[in-house]
Chains A and B, each alone.
Chain A
């Protein structure tokens, strides 16, 4: 059946379309060429007065895996406040900052998002992460495998293993955990905390292995590059949340020496030490270095005011921050010689100087980084805020007068300490389309997503144009997933299963011998037990798998 969406303004930055009135054709699960004969159209949907974009893509959101589930378990009070009644969605659910998997999928779809990626999948927990994502309806999904604190890798590095061996290990992890990309969190720091090291700077040695975070970063970033993975190493750097950490960030970027890297939730890594409270914005300096280094992309990790929960593998920093838990409880874990995690409920308050300034810093980053193709919209859900806050964030970026109104409501000292008031820039719809779909798709190497040219996956979002972007982006008029209409007027009306995206690269099987020996000697199960098979992802037809091949460069 050939469907025609007629009369909308199309925002398709990947193909240079900026608000032109264009018809979009859907055939099966793809976007089709306009037919030669207009009579071939079976169904026309009148979308005049609407803006059309590709489905939204969240490049960094915690939607599956142990720590996400720990947060759910820890916070029934989060769920009581946000219950999904029978009939509202195809399946019941609940949760505001820690929603159930079902509610997560439906809400993302209702917001016009069609693909979401779990950024911190521990290899030993990969199976559970995939199973939770399999129970997240509609959206396409994938995950980044976490490395850099696992004893196997640190031992290789401490023994000066060949770069080929490290590269083979990374490729093996990619395949065995069914990952799309590689992530690193507080390189060497999560591991160091297990041995009672409470901080670890970029050039400081992990006591056990005598290696520095910078060394680990360099090796992994190079491996990812050598393997030809589409997405660069996804980096959660040292000293997250520590006042003054902007220096760590600047130092790290300089040290990367032109190697491609994606720096995640950079707002949390952009703090200075100025002022009476020794906490200030480093956004200007950080934005400047990003603007000058085209090898770097970032996502912001914007903070929004209200109750949320922080879920992170960075147990070193979560431990430091647990004193601020609100409500006063938290869970920490040391995990399987692999990594760790910390779940700390948190409330960001607009009248609190630090929280207010964090909010401003995120916005400064958005507005000062010039190239929208290298900065993506995230709140590091739920760490900065639940993903349902994205429409409000979009309005803040696009409407300077609204931003100004909001600035007037926050802690006045924080407002003064930020440069936000003087920034007049407003994001256009074209730029919003870049930071919420076109850019993430390109960064992840998803060639058939994030754009609307014929051949692309028919993941399409139609928004009714409104001056108030928060309203506009909250409830899209139509959302198509793989050509099926799944959302109408902001409510799920149908379902279709999402696809799991993975990247695969060749590797020398000799690495498996090393791993077998390691697992047999030290671990609590055989090496083959952690391998997640293709069949498990496909799960008797319940799920779909798409394998992207890496461009291997020796």
Chain B
């Protein structure tokens, strides 16, 4: 079975379903457990906290959106099929479109759109990378299966038996993965709030520049140099980072340094990067929005033509500036609450049936979870592979796709 609860979209889970309660076996990931084992809930569609029929709730949502002068459709914790409908609705209702987590992966998008980059995917990393550098990514806390599935496996296509994979971790030692018998993690402690400086120093050393400093942001240059040398000897070093785990002020700089290291290396050897992120449907939303509108989120249909503004059209900015009067928050995957809005902002929440959102919304429509209550498709963190999720239990809960399609059809 496949899991939608982070952007790795692991498909090696065993699930047992008894009377619609799911138990995860054979996999320790706490996010999977939380996601699958959450209460199925008995939420009903609600208007201002009062139970109504689905038809009535949809009608009310249509009415609110018609009245709204500047809606925002965000959250987008859903599958490709759901995002498609959301974009269609955005066009009809002249809304702005964003994803709830986009702030997490925007930094990478900025670097990509400015300079481009060289990336790889999980099977390449697993089968060919003889040196992995984890840059500040808290894989232990957030991508628990990463080590087991991609770093640890003994069987691989291309690593010579004589050459074991080396794994380096740069960041706060407290979140470093632990070495196991299977493989050793070589940790380079660094003040995680200054990781950009360490990466810049690494880049300088790899390209042969001399630095006077003995330490960079409390990290010893000697360790950075050792890492640099190992990278230059490696057949296929892969740098792994998670934009959400980098200090927001330095994220762009850090990612840019990493991509420039990769660029420098590819002149004479081979190297690549891999970004972990786009959880809760973020990767799917960014990709679907791109193919339907040309732009990766942060788009507005308010005017005559589609407007793209990754600075302005951010959920938090719009809410702070009180620029919107209607919020459509879609989240059928995560369990986090939708953002607070000022009084006067109408709230249409389309969320997991196991969450209680009736009291904090004008309209609440409970939906099923892709990968639990209905099949759906999502795009993995490395942005090339899309996984088909299964329906694993009997369920009447409608999908986001179905609900928004109904809203679109009644427009």
Q: A93-B306, A94-B305, A196-B269 are in contact. Are A132 and B291 (CB under 8 A)?
A: yes
Contacting B at CB under 8 A, from A158-197, are 193-196
B209 contacts the other chain (CB 8 A): no
Interface size on A, residues (CB 8 A): 63
A526 touches B11 (CB 8 A): yes
Q: Mark B134-170, 1 if CB is under 8 A from A, else 0.
A: 0000000000000001100001111000000000000
Q: How far is the CA of A127 from the CA of B387 in the complex (A)?
A: 8
B118 touches A76 (CB 8 A): no
Cβ contact of A529, chosen from B117, B291, B388, cutoff 8 A: B388
A72 touches B291 (CB 8 A): yes
Cβ contact of B287, chosen from A69, A86, A526, cutoff 8 A: A69
B2 contacts the other chain (CB 8 A): yes
A336 touches B124 (CB 8 A): yes
Contacts of B360 in A (CB 8 A): none
Q: How far is the CA of A522 from the CA of B308 in the complex (A)?
A: 40
Contacts of A319 in B (CB 8 A): 266
A122 touches B270 (CB 8 A): no
B122 touches A336 (CB 8 A): yes
Question: Considering only CB atoms, which chain B residue lies closest to A339 in the complex?
Answer: B384
B293 touches A93 (CB 8 A): yes
A21 contacts the other chain (CB 8 A): no
Contacts of A521 in B (CB 8 A): 155
Contacts of A524 in B (CB 8 A): 121-123, 126, 149-150, 385
B127 contacts the other chain (CB 8 A): yes
Min distance, Cβ A344 to any Cβ of chain B, angstroms: 9
Q: How far is the CA of A162 from the CA of B292 in the complex (A)?
A: 44
Q: A73-B296, A83-B305, A93-B306 are in contact. Are A334 and B120 (CB under 8 A)?
A: yes
B11 touches A208 (CB 8 A): no
B294 touches A95 (CB 8 A): yes
Cβ contact of A196, chosen from B117, B156, B270, cutoff 8 A: B270
Contacts of B384 in A (CB 8 A): 66, 122, 124-125, 128, 333, 335-336
Q: A196-B269, A329-B115 are in contact. Are A523 and B290 (CB under 8 A)?
A: no
Min distance, Cβ B123 to any Cβ of chain A, angstroms: 4
A336 touches B301 (CB 8 A): no
Cβ contact of A76, chosen from B119, B308, B388, cutoff 8 A: B308
A84 contacts the other chain (CB 8 A): yes
B155 touches A73 (CB 8 A): no
Q: Is chain A's interface secondary structure helix, strand, loop, or mixed overall? A: mixed
Contacts of A281 in B (CB 8 A): none
Question: Considering only CB atoms, which chain B residue lies closest to A83 in the complex?
Answer: B305
A331 contacts the other chain (CB 8 A): yes
Contacts of B386 in A (CB 8 A): 125, 127-128, 131
B121 touches A127 (CB 8 A): no
Contacts of A330 in B (CB 8 A): 116
Question: Considering only CB atoms, which chain B residue lies closest to A319 in the complex?
Answer: B266
Q: How far is the CA of A332 from the CA of B271 in the complex (A)?
A: 11
B212 contacts the other chain (CB 8 A): no
Q: Is chain B's interface secondary structure helix, strand, loop, or mixed overall? A: mixed
Contacting A at CB under 8 A, from B189-237, are 235-236
Which of B156, B157, B272 has most A Cβ within 10 Å?
A: B157
Min distance, Cβ A31 to any Cβ of chain B, angstroms: 33
Binding-face segment, A97-105, A254-262, A440-448: A97-105
Min distance, Cβ B401 to any Cβ of chain A, angstroms: 9
Interface size on B, residues (CB 8 A): 59
Contacts of A408 in B (CB 8 A): none
Cβ contact of B290, chosen from A69, A151, A332, A336, cutoff 8 A: A69
Q: How far is the CA of A433 from the CA of B107 in the complex (A)?
A: 49
Q: How far is the CA of A101 from the CA of B294 in the complex (A)?
A: 8
A536 contacts the other chain (CB 8 A): yes
Contacts of B101 in A (CB 8 A): none
Q: A72-B290, A333-B119, A336-B123 are in contact. Are A127 and B295 (CB under 8 A)?
A: no
A6 contacts the other chain (CB 8 A): no
Min distance, Cβ A211 to any Cβ of chain B, angstroms: 15
B342 contacts the other chain (CB 8 A): no
A39 contacts the other chain (CB 8 A): no
A529 touches B118 (CB 8 A): no
Contacts of A328 in B (CB 8 A): 115
Question: Considering only CB atoms, which chain B residue lies closest to A95 in the complex?
Answer: B294
Q: How far is the CA of A312 from the CA of B106 in the complex (A)?
A: 25
A131 touches B377 (CB 8 A): yes
A194 touches B294 (CB 8 A): no
Q: How far is the CA of A86 from the CA of B122 in the complex (A)?
A: 40
B128 contacts the other chain (CB 8 A): yes
Q: How far is the CA of A195 from the CA of B2 in the complex (A)?
A: 32
Contacting B at CB under 8 A, from A309-325, are 319, 325
Q: How far is the CA of A335 from the CA of B388 in the complex (A)?
A: 19
B112 touches A195 (CB 8 A): no
Contacting A at CB under 8 A, from B358-411, are 377, 379, 382-388
A73 touches B121 (CB 8 A): no
Q: How far is the CA of A83 from the CA of B294 in the complex (A)?
A: 10
Contacts of A510 in B (CB 8 A): none
Q: Mark A335-363, 1 if CB is under 8 A from B, else 0.
A: 11110000100000000000000000000
Contacts of A512 in B (CB 8 A): none
A-B contact pairs, 11 of them (CB 8 A): A85-B304, A135-B291, A329-B114, A329-B116, A332-B118, A333-B118, A333-B121, A334-B121, A334-B272, A336-B385, A338-B123
Q: Which 4 A-B pairs have the closest CB atoms?
A: A83-B305, A329-B116, A79-B294, A336-B123
Additional A-B contact list (5), CB under 8 Å, known A93-B293, A523-B123: A100-B294, A128-B384, A329-B116, A334-B121, A522-B123
